[in-house]
Each structure stands twice: as C-alpha cells, then as structure tokens.
Chains A and B, each alone.
Chain A
Amino acid sequence: MNLHPQIIEGDKYNISHQFLFHTPIFEIQLDDVDNNKLTDIIYQLKEDDKEGMSVSNMGGWHSKFRNENDGAESFDELFENLRYILPLLPFNPNIKELVSIDSWAMINKKGDFNLVHNHLYASDTLRVDLSAVYYVKVPEGDSGNIAFRDPRSVINGNTFVHSRYNNGLEWEHRYPKEGLMYIFPAFLDHMVRPNKTEEDRIAISFNLTVR
C-alpha cells in the first residue's frame, strides 16, 4: 500500500513530501456484539481457571490460549466478525482464509498492565501474521491505553529528525472503547498501560494466521 505524497508549496519550490515504510493499524468499531454476554462468559472462564497464565500481563488475569477446537466457541461471534473484516483489509492478494485463531481474554484490575511485547513468537507450531484486540468492557476514566512502539530501530540514532518530525514520540497511543477492535501486524511491539480506575477492564486478544 503506497501513500500519496503531500505537496508543500514553498515560496520558491514545491516540496513533495513522501511517506515511506509506514506501519498500518486497522481500527474497527463493531456495533453489533453483545458485550454483556461476553463479559459474563469471561468471568465464568476466570471462575473455572483462576490461575490463568502469566505472559505479558503484570497483575491482570490472562486466560489460557483458546483456539476454535479448544473450547473457544464462546467467542464465535467475534471470529465471524474477523472472517468478515479480514478480506476487506488492503492486502494484495486479499486475505482469503482465516487458517487459525488463537484467542485469550484479559481482565485488568486497578494497577494491572501489560509489558512491551509482540506476537510473532506466540506459537511454535504456526506463524502469526496479524494480531488483534477487542474491548469488551471499558470503565470510564483511564483504564489503560494501548501503545504501539515505533518499529524503526534507527530512530535511536537520528535524534534530530525524530524530535522534530515525530515530536520525539516513540509511542502511538490508542484509547480503548467498548466495541472497538484493532488489527495490527504481529511484529509490532505494544504495551498496555495501567488501569487507573476502580473497575475491571476486559479485552479479548487474537493471533491470526491467514492465507
């Protein structure tokens, strides 16, 4: 996917401002998912498996990984949504098939957060192409934004350009909202900042292998 240049009209010359090697994230607002039902399902999952697992989560509850053949029918509605959305994304050739989904639920209570991580090495049997997160329950206030890290290692050494072109920012923050989904390349490092509210923040994440 190529981006069109912006033309900067200078006093003497025009400057074609071209954008190379951007990294896309896809933001989708799903308006027809029953989040109350999903909330109940996830609390029941936690009830059945209090321990969960420890991965990037610092404090929060992270369910075991679940795929379609492994008791994840309860997320079927979201899987169906993913099957609808993925072929629309600007890949060439377009995505034809969702080969595998690993999914897990996350409950972050006050103070819980997720360390910086990516999802490339999430599975030793399947490659992960894209990752996604869907927000089931988002308390009012600051329940912890997701932040994506600039994947260009070179910014560390090109401080002038970084500070004056990127505003010195290494992170792009996005704020959770109920019904919102982000899909992003599996290599993209990200973290979740602490939930500062008194209520639970619930999200479902996905690792997708596609064809």
Chain B
Amino acid sequence: MELPPYEINGKYKIENQFLFPTALFQIELDDVDNNILTENAYKLYAEDRGIKVSNSGGWHSNFCNFHDKNFKYFEPLTSKFQYILPELPLYPNISKINQMNIWFNLNRRNNIHKRHHHINSDFSGVYYVKVPKEVETEEKEQFIGIDNKMTSIPKKDDCGKIKFFDPRQAISYGNYFYMSRYHRTFDISRMPIEGTMFIFPSGLEHEVLPNSTDEDRISISFNLIVE
C-alpha cells in the first residue's frame, strides 16, 4: 500500500513520505436491522452464560462459527460480509472466508475490554448494534495528552470508545521527541456509532474503555481467516 507524499513548501522541495501505515477500515451499514440484532443478543444472553476473555464485567457470548446452531443470530450482519470483504484494498482481493468466529458483547456501566489482540486470525472486526447516547456532565479537570497536562474539558460520559495501540517499536525503544511532537499520542481511539463496522489487522492491539452510561452497549465482534 503506497501513500502519495505530502509536499512541504520551502526553499527546497521537501516531501513527507508515509511509510508502513496500519489499515483501519470503517464501514457504515445502513441496511442492517439493529432491532433484530438487539433482540438476538438478548435471546442468546438468556441461554448462554458467556465466557471470560478480554471482558472485565460485561457479557461475552461463546464464540460461534458457521456450523454452530447459534450462528443464525448473527446472520443479519454476516450476510453483508460478501459486499465488504472483496472491496478491501488487498492484493489479491479476499475471495473466501475460510473460518469465522463471531460473538456478542454486552457492556453495562463500567464494563470494559482489556487490551488484547486476535493474532491467530487475519482480520478482526467489530460492529455496533446498540450505542447509548453520550450524556453531558459538568466540566471536569483531566490529565490529557502525551504531556499529561491537567486541562479543563467539557466532559461527556460515553459508552466506551475502542482504542488502538501503536504497533511500532518506537515506544519500547524510546523516541520521545518523535512520538510526542509528530504523532502526539501513543494510541488512536474511535467512538462507537450504531450501524458502523471497523475492520483491522488481527495483530493490532486494542481495548474498550468503560461504558459510563446506564444503558447497555451491544456490539458484535468477529475474527476471520480468509483466502
């Protein structure tokens, strides 16, 4: 994947060339019935005690694959994969899903997913079925940014962003100037949006921050081994 360089004006021609990006794909699905998926999540919740993996609190259903009887609960979503996966900018393109593991996550107040990866797969993804609205609270002082500066910011309680961690050695090697003044962060977060899917390389470490609302946050996660 080659990115076009960015030119910096000056006495000389200076090109900023972007090497080794890590892909994150964001897809908005406008034709998935999230009410049915929500019902399915609660149906499965009633019969499946779930498992404990990266989830701290929260319900993580057992993993389902194509042959599992519960796979039907995910079909309103998985039926759309055929329109997405072959479009991803890979060479050659994805032509087949060989294995799929898929599961529901139900996060209630303060539930999180600890930092983890899915390295035994090729691509991983998450789809947001039910996303509680942000709740405005009063302004709070927080330590933010790479310099950990105490800053007063208008605070909104959200249901838990997904945070991706920088996979490069720069951090463990230490290159503080570069990290703090070029990227200005060690991680990149995305706010969940109902009907939106993220797909990313399975090796990319991520975590889910606490649900700070009183409503349930429901998502579907999946691991794919593809051809």
Give chain A's interface residues, CB within 8 Å of chain B: 1, 3, 5, 8, 10-31, 81, 84-85, 88-93, 95, 118, 120, 127, 129-130, 148, 150-155, 157-158, 160-161, 164-167, 172, 185-187, 210
Contact = CB atoms under 8 A, between A and B. Distances in A.
A88 B170 CA distance: 22
B14 A17 contact: no
A151 B83 contact: no
A165 B182 contact: no
B90 A165 contact: yes
**Across chains A and B, which 9 residue pairs bring their CB atoms closest together, nearest first?**
A129-B177, A19-B21, A160-B122, A158-B203, A154-B203, A164-B90, A187-B175, A10-B87, A22-B21
A186 B175 contact: yes
B58 to A, nearest CB: 25
B35 interface: no
B89 A8 contact: yes
B46 interface: no
Contacts of B203: 154-155, 157-158, 161
A174 to B, nearest CB: 8
Of listed B25, B123, B203, residue having the most chain A CB within 10 A: B203
Interface string B1-27: 101011011111111111111111111
Nearest to A31: B12
A151 B3 CA distance: 17
A167 B92 CA distance: 10
B13 to A, nearest CB: 5
B160 interface: no
B169 A172 contact: no
A27 B15 contact: yes
Nearest to A174: B17
B170 A151 contact: yes
B19 A18 contact: no
Contacts of B1: 165-167
A26 B16 contact: yes
A129 B170 CA distance: 11
B166 A21 contact: yes
B92 A164 contact: yes
Contact of B164 (A10, A20, A166): A20
B201 A161 contact: yes
A96 B169 CA distance: 26
B161 to A, nearest CB: 14
Of listed B8, B20, B176, B225, residue having the most chain A CB within 10 A: B20
Nearest to A120: B173
A152 B175 contact: no
B83 A165 contact: no
A19 B3 contact: yes
B26 A210 contact: no
Interface string B180-215: 011110001000000000000111110000000000
A89 to B, nearest CB: 7
A154 B15 CA distance: 27
A14 to B, nearest CB: 7
